[in-house]
Amino acid sequence: MTDRCTEAPAHKPWIVVCGSLAAAVTLLVAQAHARPAADPLAPAGRWEGSTSGSASTPPMGWNSWNAFRTEVDEGKVLGAAQVLVDSGLAKLGYNHVILDDGWWMKRRTSDGRLQIRTGIFPSAATGGPDGTSFKPFTDKLHAMGFKAGIYTDIGRNACSQAYDLHSPNLPQGTTAEREVGLDGHVKQDINLYFKEWGFDYIKIDACGLADFVPGSTLVKEQKYRAMAPLIERGSNSRTDIEAVRTRYETVAAAIRAARPAGDYVMSICAWGMANVRSWGKDVGNLWRTSADITPSWTSMLHNFDSAAKRALYAGPGHWNDPDILHIGHGAFDAANPVEVRSHFSLWAMINAPLLVSYDLRNGPASLLEVLGNADLVGLNQDKAGHQGVVTYDSDDAQIIVKTLGDGQRKAVALFNRGATPAPVTLMAGHMKLADGAPVTLRNLWTKDRITFTGEKAFTLAPHETLVFEATGKRQLDNGVYLSEIPGSINVAVDGTRQPQNDPTIHRMIDPWSSTRSGGTRAQYAGWGGAQADTTPYGQSLQVAGQVFESGLGVLSNSRLQVNNDAGHARLTASVGVDDSADDATQPVQFYVHGDGKLLAQSAPAKLGARAQTLTADIRGVKVIELVVRGGQAGTAPPVVATWGDARLTHAAGSVSSAKAQPAGMP
Ligand code: GLA
């Protein structure tokens, strides 16, 4: 069976090529709905952020990989599920149980049906014409109240077939029988997983597109069918980004068809490669932003960094995934309570999936207590889905602030990345709270309360993270800064011309190759993407010397969408070319659209010109779109553009004009 005529990818319906009349009709209909490819900056007039699947908050639960690698079995998985129930963690929200790599025996060549390794999953030995089935297994998990998750690969072969060659649980048989990945079997496998076997969650790895290189020792010795790699780790120019994205889109379409009610979660596991940090949000519910986490402090830093500055790319239904938790092992075992709490706090603050992955049956109670911190889980699962924003940044310490749903409360984390004590002064302004009014902090680990006005000094122990819920007088008491609500923003077009690797991610000694190279290089595209409270390159927002503590930093030729479900009445921003831009010749223009109609536009702005104030009456508007057009789209490098102090307010009265005027004018 092939997938040649499956649904077209949403962003390029014209590529559907298949023979039947039905498909030709699909093509025409899809084209009729397609945005004119010529102008991706034209307002869509409707929310384009992905709304598929069932991940309105970050997925929580347990995954088998870090606990058992391929030496997983039915007893171990069900044992973990039982601990989740008995400990109360399931009730707290840990409701996915995900079986990772290691479960398969082979693909039956007569009909392509996957067969389960019944030696380790005895309930799968159902016999009959199907041979094996996971239905009894998922029935058990469902009866316990869980959603069930399964693992596959987007290529022909899985990661264990490249990296766990010693494993007793690798697929067996001929070359074809060992091709257990989705390639060539998308519809068949997805229907098997979701319709027949009853899984609700799928993790889709990508080694099949990266590691089975023609002529390689691996391919020769293991007798795999070679595949010219579509992903070359760390090299954007040698990775076929569009082909990788299209494959995941094809799978997404098959999942939607199998689960039309949208009761599924799709996890993309392309480890931050193929520019997935930019497009993952449009295709799946979560996407890995980096390589596999290992149980070391520096690996945790690396994975945290890969997601922490991507707040505008996440929101309800779509989450940055810095990988499953490594709590329970190495630097995060029970002997390292500070590191355990830090790892958990950081994942909670940036809306990462909270997927536990150690042998819960044999773990200490102290770890369950950490995972069971209802305050931490609550902030991760806050319905508004605003990822924490790094509001103070350095290599030594960071302050991360997350707006909680009601807009009145904030969560704030003070994080000491280093191995020596760190002085950290928290200012009301870091949380966009007023300087002159008292701020109350409730420590979400100790439950202690403290109150301060203006600023408060702390000394953080090595690797310590303090997390507080903060209440005080908000700087904007009749609205929000857009940088406070990243979960309500969809980066439709971020203006990056070429994928560029992000140099700000902690460069650990690679645990696999050690120091056998010239050094660790930046490897994940996404540099230059839209940012909350900084420029796309991490500089302070500043236009003609005027500094903006709040705002959105973008590149020219970008289009952001803002969901105005909260019913704000007015948008205000001070806009201009950021002082960090290096091209003084190119003018840019800023536009505000409401439900597709132009509401405000700036005059052309160049580097060095004062910020212009834009205001727009957005009463009744559902979707606001913020567009920056650069003079020479397509040729010249993008210009750094700043939406300074961009805010939505409930101010009474109408705003009459959409005219721009220099900031500071009456
Ligand atoms: C890759 C993934 C891991 C895990 C293994 C399984 O390395 O990134 O999370 O799924 O494959 O082999």
The confidence band for 266, taking pLDDT boundaries of 50, 70 and 90, is: very high
Sequence-distant (≥ 6) Cβ neighbours of residue 467 within 8 angstroms: 345, 348, 349, 376, 379, 411, 412, 413, 443, 444, 445
* Collapsed DSSP state (helix, strand, coil) of residue 442: strand
CA-to-CA distance for 108 and 90, rounded, in angstroms?
36
Q: Report the residue among 166, 167, 205 best suited for mutation to probe ligand 1: largest number of ligand atoms under 8 A from its CB.
A: 205
Contact 348, 382 (CB under 8 A): no
10 Å Cβ neighbour count for 196? 15
What size, in residues, is the chain? 666
Does residue 349 sit in helix, strand or coil? Answer: helix
Q: At what angle do helices 276-283 and 241-258 cross, to 10 degrees?
A: 20
pLDDT in tens, 599-641: 999 999 999 999 999 999 999 999 999 999 996 656 678 999 9
Tokens linked to 349: 């603050």
Give mean pLDDT, residues 70-89: 98
Q: How far is the CA of 598 from the centre of ligand 1 (A)?
A: 46
Question: Where does the pLDDT of residue 531 fall: very low under 50, low under 70, confident under 90, or very high at 90 and above?
Answer: very high
Residue with CA closest to ligand 1 atom 11: 159
| Atom of ligand 1 at shortest range from CA of 160 | 12
Closest by alpha carbon to 561, among 467, 469, 482? 482
Mean pLDDT of the chain: 92
CA of 658 to the centre of ligand 1 (A): 52
The whole-number pLDDT of residue 406 equals: 75
Q: Cα(27)–Cα(398) distance, rounded to whole angstroms?
A: 49
- Residue closest via CA to ligand 1's atom 4 equals 65
The residue annotated as part of the active site, out of 73, 100, 282, 292, is 292
Q: How far is the CA of 151 from the centre of ligand 1 (A)?
A: 9
Amino acid making up residue 558: S
Q: What are phi and psi of 50, to 5 degrees?
A: -65, 135
Q: Can you tell me which atom of ligand 1 is nearest the CA of 288?
A: 8
Cα(358) to centroid(ligand 1), Å: 15
Q: What is the DSSP string of 252-299?
A: HHHHHHH-TT---EEEEE-TT-TTHHHHHHHH-SEEE-SS---SSHHH
- The pLDDT, as a whole number, for residue 634 is 60
Model confidence at 219: pLDDT above 70? yes
Task: Report CA(14)–ligand 1 centroid distance (Å).
Answer: 33
pLDDT at position 341 over 50:
yes
505 with 333: CB under 8 angstroms? no
> Which amino acid residue places its CA nearest to atom 1 of ligand 1?
159
In terms of phi and psi (left: phi > 0; alpha: psi -120 to 50; beta: otherwise), the region of 136 is: alpha
With a cut of 80, say whether residue 335 has pLDDT above it. yes
* Residue whose CB lies within 8 A of the most ligand 1 atoms, among 167, 207, 356, for a mutation test: 207
User: What pLDDT does residue 234 have?
Assistant: 85
Cα(470)–Cα(444) distance, integer angstroms: 10
**Which pLDDT does position 632 carry in this prediction?**
62
Q: What is the pLDDT of residue 636?
A: 75
**pTM assigned to the model:** 0.93
How does DSSP assign 209-246, residue by residue? GTS--TT-HHHHHHTPPP---S-BTTBSTTS-HHHHHH
Point out the ligand 1 atom lying closest to the alpha carbon of residue 323.
9
pLDDT for the residue numbered 660: 38
Instruction: Give the pLDDT band (50/70/90) at residue 6.
Output: very low
**Average pLDDT of 243-271?**
98
pLDDT tens-digit readout, 404-439: 997 889 999 999 999 999 999 999 999 999 999 999
Ligand 1: which of 62, 64, 101 to mutate, most ligand atoms within 8 Å of CB?
101
**pLDDT higher than threshold 70 for residue 252:** yes
pLDDT of res. 46: 97
Residue 172's pLDDT band, with cuts at 50, 70 and 90, is very high
pLDDT of residue 503: 97
- Predicted local confidence at residue 511, as pLDDT: 86
Compute, in angstroms, the gap from residue 292 CA to the centroid of ligand 1. Answer: 7
Q: Which of 65, 166, 267, 303 to mutate to test the pocket of ligand 1 (most atoms within 8 A of CB)?
A: 65
Instruction: Assign 3-class secondary structure to 353-399.
Output: CEEECCCHHHCCHHHHHHHCCHHHHHHHCCCCCCCCEEEECCCCEEE
Residue 241 tokens read as 């980004």
pLDDT of residue 90 exceeding 80: yes
pLDDT for 20 equals: 33
Residue 647: name the closest of 408, 410, 476 by CA.
476
State the Cα–Cα distance between residues 56 and 617, nearest whole angstrom. 30
Q: pLDDT at position 382, please? A: 98
Q: How many of the other CB atoms lie within 10 Å of CB of 7? A: 18
Q: How far is the CA of 261 from the centre of ligand 1 (A)?
A: 29
Q: Is 292 designated active site?
A: yes
Mean pLDDT of all residues in 501-526: 94
Ligand 1 pocket by Cβ (under 6 Å) = 65, 100-101, 158-160, 205, 269, 271, 292
Helical (H) or strand (E) element with 458: strand 455-460
CA distance 200 to 208: 23
Distance separating alpha carbons of residues 28 and 222, to the nearest angstrom: 45
pLDDT at 238 over 60: yes
Spatial contact of 609 and 584, defined as CB atoms under 8 Å apart: no
Rounded Cα distance, 360 and 348, in Å: 20
Element (H, E) at 422: strand 422-427
Single-letter amino acid code for the residue at 271: W
Choose which residue among 231, 292, 355 to substitute to test ligand 1 binding: the one with the highest number of ligand atoms within 8 A of its C-beta: 292
Tell me the HSE value of 53 on the side-chain side, using a 13 A CA sphere.
Answer: 30
Q: Which of 314, 244, 247, 318 is nearest to 284 (CA)?
A: 318
Q: Considering only CA atoms, which residue is closest to atom 5 of ligand 1?
A: 159
Cα(585) to centroid of ligand 1, in Å?
47
Question: What is the reported pLDDT for 37?
Answer: 57
How much is the pLDDT for 631?
Answer: 63
Closest ligand 1 atom, CA of 291?
8
Mean pLDDT to the nearest integer, 592-596? 98
Does 205 participate in catalysis according to the annotation? yes
The CA 572 to ligand 1 mean position distance, Å, reads: 45
CA 375 to ligand 1 centroid distance, Å:
30
What are the CA-CA distances from residue 627 to residues 209, 547, 575, 590 (Å)? Answer: 35, 21, 11, 6
Class of residue 108 by CB neighbours under 10 A (exposed 0-12, middle 13-18, buried 19+) = middle
Residue that the structure tokens 């760390």 belong to: 234
Give the span between the Cα atoms of 194 and 202, in whole angstroms: 9
Tokens of 157: 């072969």
Mean pLDDT, range 504-531, rounded to an integer: 94
Atom of ligand 1 nearest to the CA of 100: 10
Tell which atom from ligand 1 comes closest to the C-alpha of 203: 10
3, 183, 205, 510: which is the annotated catalytic residue?
Answer: 205
> Which runs of consecutive H residues, i.e. helices, occur in 37-88?
65-68, 74-87
Ligand 1 midpoint to CA 460 (Å): 34
